[in-house]
Amino acid sequence: MSPTPPARRLRLGMPRRMFSQVLLMQVAIAAGVVVLATGLFLAPLSHQLDDQAMRRALAIAQTTAAQPQIATDLQNTPPSVDGPVQRAAERIRKASEAEYVVVMNTQHVRWSHRDPAQVGRVVSTDPSQALAGKDVMEIDSGTLGRSARGKVPLRDADGRIIGAVSVGIEYDSVRARLVHTIPGLFAYAGGALSVGALAAWLISRRVQRQTRDLAFSDISALLAEREAMLHGIREGVVALDRTGRIRLLNDEAQRLLDIGEEIVGRSPDEAFGAGRTADVLAGRVTGTDLLTVRGQRVLVANRMPTDDDGAVATLRDRTELEQLGRELDSTRGLIDALRAQDHEHANRMHTLLGLLELEMFDDAVEFVGEVVGDHRVTAEQVTEKIQDPLLAALLVGKATVAAERGVALWVSDRTRLPDRLVDPRGLVTVVGNLVDNALDAVAGTPHARVEVELRAEGRTAVLRVWDTGPGIPAEQRELVFTEGWSTKKPPAHGKRGIGLSLVRRLAERQGGSAAVGEADGGGAEFTVVLPEALAEPDPEPAFTTGPAPIGEAPARTAVEEEAR
């Protein structure tokens, strides 16, 4: 036979369910409050009853001393059990239900007392304060035990003190009143405890529904898991309350938005200023995968409302994807340009071959010179005006792309830019975006032309790009710099509306500006001003190499820099 398993020991402690824990704690709190309130009420009640008894005794004594006949009889009759003073005092005692009414002379001899045997004897308590003209209230012990007393002086018709009146209220009657009050007080306390227990049960039921009857340990574990998840995922998370203020953001959101936890409690407008980022987070712009630009980052945002009328926004960084997409667009454009050059080169070679077969050697030499000279003049014109090799290579590449698209790309005669750029890659991004937008605007129009002007004014770089396209209406000239806004069809890799926003942000980051207006003769004219874009010139001449030869590395460099 298998041994009988030992009896399971009864374990006492807090119940595990939150409903039971909350109910038990609230009932305990309600009971503690009721007990405390009852004790706090009983303590002053005892003092209050004592004070009432002493004041009642004092009032009876004052009323007795105010009768002139008693003062006259005290002066004119000896103390006796059937004297007028004893009879008057007993009448007052019975009428007022006092324990005793004692009338004494200045030698402390009693003229009246409840116990006739005490008449004519000296009082047992000190009446000196009353005989000195003061009214006295006290709890004291005498021949009849502990009582609440009131003592007043007794004056004759001339106002001279001839004795005193002492009145006592039985102290046991005071305690009896207190004890008599306790059952009613306990009844009120029990009613209050019952109401508190009912309220505790209702609150616990509501907490149970809202927390899905989870234990405190389960909620604590969920909170710890939520913190680990929020700060561990590689997506930015921003939570907003029902008033639209930020109440939570994780580490990735702080990194992507370049902010700290100090914005918690603020609205998106206060935290980020007016702009698309604030509009997206505040819900003023609706949709999925909304694009916004924060600094140099291209972010994709999605906003989901919550049951408490708040919202949670998620942010993903697609800067690298956007750069790869732009590189892909640029590569496709250059591939098309190279294909066109290859086709043009084949035609020229066929022409040269025909001239050689016809033995027109002089014409062949002249033809080759013209072809080579045209390309050399184009590259030399650009590098002569723009001494930075990256920008020069970019414009040479863009000129090839423009020629393939049937657009004339011109570099203004006023263009003069030395090789002293502080951030050449940033300027390549600005020029590349503006030229691309201009080429898109004039594509398919007759006599399409885009002109670029780059000049230095001290340490400030000024860029102007204008075209012969349809232009931009005045009411839309600010919208073109808004993230996600575009009138063109999105490319295969994603969405448009990023390039011009990046241009303005790069300009504003350097303390400059980007604006668009109407060009002479129609079309759009973009102007970008970049203060402190050029370094101070060298005080002494230094040896510098010239720009890279057109036709070698610049073609690849143009692809890389234009993608930025």
Where are the chain's structural domains? Answer: 21-177, 233-317, 321-563
472-488 average pLDDT score: 74
Tell me the pLDDT band of 338, cut-offs 50, 70 and 90.
Answer: low
Q: Which residues are bridge partners to 305 per DSSP?
A: 311
What per-residue confidence (pLDDT) applies to 252? 80
What per-residue confidence (pLDDT) applies to 462? 92
Of 61 and 553, more confident: 61
| Digit-coded pLDDT (tens) for 34-75 | 777 666 666 666 677 778 888 888 899 888 888 889 888 888
Q: Which residues are bridge partners to 301 per DSSP?
A: 290, 315
What per-residue confidence (pLDDT) applies to 521? 78
Tell me the pLDDT band of 492, cut-offs 50, 70 and 90.
Answer: very low
What per-residue confidence (pLDDT) applies to 258? 79
Which of 258, 335, 327 has its CA nearest to residue 297? 258
Task: Say yes or no to pLDDT of 169 above 60.
Answer: yes
| Digit-coded pLDDT (tens) for 114-139 | 888 888 899 888 888 888 889 988 87
| Digit-coded pLDDT (tens) for 503-536 | 888 888 777 888 888 888 788 899 999 888 888 7
Percent of the chain with pLDDT over 70: 71
Q: How far apart are CA 524 and CA 48, in angstroms?
A: 93
Sheet harboring 100-105: ordered strands across?
100-105, 161-170, 145-155, 136-142
Out of 4-8, 49-53, 290-294, 428-432, pick the least confident.
4-8
Tell me the pLDDT band of 401, cut-offs 50, 70 and 90.
Answer: confident
Of 227 and 65, more confident: 65
CATH number 3.30.450.20 given to 21-177: yes
| Digit-coded pLDDT (tens) for 251-265 | 888 888 878 777 888
Q: Which helix H or strand E contains 147, and what residues bound it?
A: strand 145-155
Out of 186-200, 337-351, 391-405, give the one with best mean pLDDT.
391-405
Q: How far apart are CA 253 and CA 235, in angstroms?
A: 7
What per-residue confidence (pLDDT) applies to 165? 92
Architecture of domain 233-317: 2-Layer Sandwich (3.30)
- 511: Cβ contacts below 8 Å, ≥ 6 apart: 531, 532
Map 525-555 to HEC letters: EEEEEECCCECCCCCCCCCCCCCCCCCCCHH
Q: How far apart are CA 32 and CA 44, in angstroms?
A: 19
Intrachain domains 21-177 and 321-563 with the same fold: no
First-to-last alpha carbon distance for the chain, in angstroms, is 85
**Average model confidence (pLDDT) for the chain?**
76
Of 479 and 493, more confident: 479
| Digit-coded pLDDT (tens) for 64-108 | 888 889 888 888 899 988 899 989 999 998 888 888 899 999 898
Out of 8-17, 78-87, 263-272, 279-288, pick the least confident.
8-17
What per-residue confidence (pLDDT) applies to 545? 40
Q: How far apart are CA 174 and CA 172, in angstroms?
A: 5
Q: How far apart are CA 238 and CA 279, in angstroms?
A: 14
Task: Say yes or no to pLDDT of 282 above 50.
Answer: yes
Map 323-338 to HEC letters: HHHHHHHHHHHHHHHH
Q: How far apart are CA 114 and CA 101, in angstroms?
A: 7
What per-residue confidence (pLDDT) applies to 48? 75
What per-residue confidence (pLDDT) applies to 526? 92
- 325: Cβ contacts below 8 Å, ≥ 6 apart: 491, 493, 494
208-231 average pLDDT score: 65
Q: What is the CATH code of the structural domain delimited by 321-563? A: 3.30.565.10
Q: How far apart are CA 546 and CA 175, in angstroms?
A: 113
Phi and psi dihedrals of 87, rounded to 5?
A: -65, -45
What per-residue confidence (pLDDT) applies to 151? 92
Out of 41-45, 309-313, 486-490, give the one with best mean pLDDT.
309-313
Q: How far apart are CA 214 and CA 208, in angstroms?
A: 8
What per-residue confidence (pLDDT) applies to 551? 36
Place of tokens 């050029």: 534
Q: Which helix H or strand E contains 100, and what residues bound it?
A: strand 100-105
What per-residue confidence (pLDDT) applies to 172? 60
Task: Say yes or no to pLDDT of 164 above 90.
Answer: yes
Indicate the residue type of 505.
Answer: R
Long-range contacts of 27-30 (CB under 8 A, 24+ apart): 27/196, 27/197, 27/200, 30/192, 30/193, 30/196, 30/197, 30/199, 30/200
What per-residue confidence (pLDDT) applies to 33? 74
What per-residue confidence (pLDDT) applies to 31? 76
Of 543 and 532, more confident: 532
